[in-house]
């Protein structure tokens, strides 16, 4: 199951679009997996779930590739 970002997780702070806006404490962190700016309060949970979802997606892609390879040349399986 894929979890989609909510508008509450993604940071839309003016500091990302306006030069004169600065914070004493950072408003968000960039997720190392998806690259989105995630609010500080949501970051740890988001980063963990995002990494787990990425690993699951990579497993699914690998299974799909292996299934295609099992079909053999031409993608139709072994000749009868």
Name the pTM for this structure.
0.69
Task: Name, in order, each residue with C-beta under 8 angstroms of 40's C-beta and a sequence gap of 6 or more.
Answer: 25, 26, 27, 28, 29
**Averaged over 22-42, what is the pLDDT?**
91
At 36-73, the pLDDT tens digits run 999 999 999 999 999 999 999 999 999 999 998 888 77
Tell whether the model's pLDDT for residue 5 goes beyond 80. no
* The pLDDT value given to residue 23: 86
Give the range among 10-19, 20-29, 59-68, 69-78 with minimum mean pLDDT. Answer: 69-78
Task: Name, in order, each residue with C-beta under 8 angstroms of 70's C-beta and a sequence gap of 6 or more.
Answer: 77
Place of tokens 């787990």: 52
**Averaged over 15-39, what is the pLDDT?**
90
């Amino acid at each position: 199951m894929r979890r989609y970002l909510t508008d509450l997780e993604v940071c839309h702070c003016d500091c990302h679009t306006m030069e004169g806006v600065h914070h004493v404490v950072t408003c968000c962190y960039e997720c190392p997996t998806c690259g989105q700016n995630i609010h500080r309060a949501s970051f740890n949970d988001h980063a963990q779930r995002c990494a787990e979802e990425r690993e699951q997606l990579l497993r699914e892609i690998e299974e799909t590739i292996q299934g295609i390879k099992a079909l053999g040349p031409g993608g139709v399986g072994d000749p009868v």
